[in-house]
């Protein structure tokens, strides 16, 4: 099936900001970038009003960026910033609301959807996994794989372990501190870490171990924010990922949106109102707005090739080099301060996913 021209990436007529990129002949390259301070510039690519960019994933082998949105997926050439493919339900997705995208070592692209299970794609071939095939749930939010290719899939009803050789799926629920799983990461020792609505669980192949706020995960609620109403209700229709209550941010330090694990197995976790938590293997420490973090609700955590951390928050993007913090927000060219996804390109560019756009942050 021929791929349709991109209808998201080039929907720039919906963006009225003066720094929006200009679309010509299928390309989205602005005539000038917006200065963002500190030598950084931004370039904005519209994806449509009200469209959420939930995940960004760099495929280094093909130098491509995968953009997962609430209305489909785009594959973008990182050199030209042209769209290579657009995927929707008509192409093979079981649901067009794609919450996460992951490239495995065999070159398969995986998509986790809201209510449409998990889908793999490579070279035009699609395969979707539902609970009838062994998947834990229809709502899928993260992937990662172990050294032998075993794939772990985080869902709203536990995690699924997929044996790539046999195709067998095994589900784990009771072993987790909480069944609502949003983040999955494998460390250098092949241990698997799970970020959930109730804390973090680690599986080393034999034993399961968990941590929550009582163990130091997530900062204290110094601002007296109201507690999150989503957690623990046990009903999917109540889990809308809203972080606001009556116009105010909410708080749940046990709720982990994202995980990043360094080469020496230090864990960084983005929490709901508790800032960023760092685990050095012995104890937890936390970074919040008081330290320089843009916002205490942290959707995304990555580390670039230079060892710099980037945090996507509800109040913009934070850069942390281990000593100094810098925040990028709407004043620096972002179209929305809620930064749901962050990815680092091989050339050093940082890509951000917000509501309504994808933003490229480059250093000049």
Task: Answer yes or no: are the C-beta atoms of 314 and 331 closer than 8 Å.
Answer: no
Nearest CA to 44 out of 362, 293, 363 is that of 362
Query: How far apart, in Å, are the Cα atoms of 226 and each of 221, 223, 246, 250?
Result: 9, 9, 10, 5
Task: Answer yes or no: are the C-beta atoms of 337 and 329 closer than 8 Å.
Answer: yes
Specify the 3-state DSSP secondary structure of 224. coil
Q: Which tokens hold the place of 251?
A: 């708080």
Strands 118-122 and 125-129: antiparallel
Task: Answer yes or no: are the C-beta atoms of 255 and 180 closer than 8 Å.
Answer: no
The domain defined by 174-234+243-349 folds into Methylamine Dehydrogenase; Chain H (2.130.10)
What is the model's pLDDT at position 236?
A: 52
What is the model's pLDDT at position 247?
A: 56
- pLDDT tens for the chain, residues 1 to 364: 334 434 445 433 233 222 233 332 233 333 345 667 678 889 999 999 899 999 999 999 999 999 999 999 999 999 999 999 999 999 999 999 999 999 999 999 999 999 999 999 999 999 999 999 999 999 999 999 999 999 999 999 999 999 999 999 999 999 999 999 999 999 999 999 999 999 999 999 999 999 999 999 999 999 888 887 655 444 454 455 555 555 577 899 999 999 999 999 999 999 999 999 999 999 999 999 999 999 999 999 999 999 999 999 999 999 999 999 999 999 988 999 999 999 999 999 999 999 999 999 998 7
Contacts of residue 354, Cβ cutoff 8 Å, sequence gap at least 6: 53, 334, 335, 336, 337, 338, 339, 340
Contacts of residue 130, Cβ cutoff 8 Å, sequence gap at least 6: 94, 117, 138
What is the model's pLDDT at position 226?
A: 81
Summarize pLDDT for 28-53 with one digit per residue, the tens.
Answer: 333 345 667 678 889 999 999 899 99
Question: What's the pTM?
Answer: 0.89
Task: Answer yes or no: are the C-beta atoms of 105 and 63 closer than 8 Å.
Answer: no
What is the model's pLDDT at position 38?
A: 73
Q: Where are the domains of the chain?
A: 174-234+243-349
């Amino acid at each position: 099936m021929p791929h349709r021209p991109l209808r998201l990436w080039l929907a720039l007529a919906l963006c009225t900001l003066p720094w929006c990129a200009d679309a010509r002949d299928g390309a989205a390259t602005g005539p000038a970038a917006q200065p963002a301070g500190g030598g950084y510039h931004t370039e904005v690519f519209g994806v449509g009003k009200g469209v959420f960019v939930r995940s960004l994933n760099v495929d280094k082998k093909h130098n491509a960026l995968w953009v997962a949105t609430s209305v489909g997926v785009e594959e973008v050439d990182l050199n030209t910033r042209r769209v290579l493919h657009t995927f929707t339900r008509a192409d093979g997705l079981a649901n067009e609301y794609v919450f996460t995208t992951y490239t495995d070592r065999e070159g398969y692209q995986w998509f986790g959807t809201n209510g449409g299970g998990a889908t793999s794609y490579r070279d035009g071939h699609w395969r979707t996994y539902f609970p009838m095939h062994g998947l834990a749930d229809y709502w899928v939010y993260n992937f990662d794989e172990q050294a032998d290719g075993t794939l772990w899939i985080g869902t709203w009803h536990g995690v699924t372990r997929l044996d790539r050789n046999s195709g067998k799926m095994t589900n784990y629920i009771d072993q987790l501190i909480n069944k609502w799983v949003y983040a999955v990461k494998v460390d250098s020792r092949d241990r698997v870490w799970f970020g959930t609505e109730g804390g973090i669980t680690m599986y080393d192949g034999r034993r399961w171990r968990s941590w929550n706020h009582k163990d130091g995960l997530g900062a204290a609620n110094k601002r007296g924010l109201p507690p999150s109403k989503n957690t623990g209700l046990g009903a999917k229709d109540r889990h809308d990922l809203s972080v606001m209550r009556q116009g105010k941010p909410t708080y749940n330090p046990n709720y982990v949106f994202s995980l990043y694990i360094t080469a020496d197995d230090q864990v960084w976790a983005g929490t709901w109102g508790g800032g960023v938590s760092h685990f050095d293997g012995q104890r937890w420490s936390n970074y919040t707005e008081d330290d320089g973090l843009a916002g205490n609700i942290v959707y995304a955590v990555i580390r670039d090739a230079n060892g710099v951390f980037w945090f996507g928050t509800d109040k913009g993007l934070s850069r942390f080099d281990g000593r100094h913090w810098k925040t990028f927000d709407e004043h620096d060219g972002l179209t929305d301060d809620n930064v749901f996804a962050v990815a680092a390109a091989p050339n050093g560019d940082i890509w951000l996913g917000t509501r309504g756009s994808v933003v490229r942050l480059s250093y000049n």
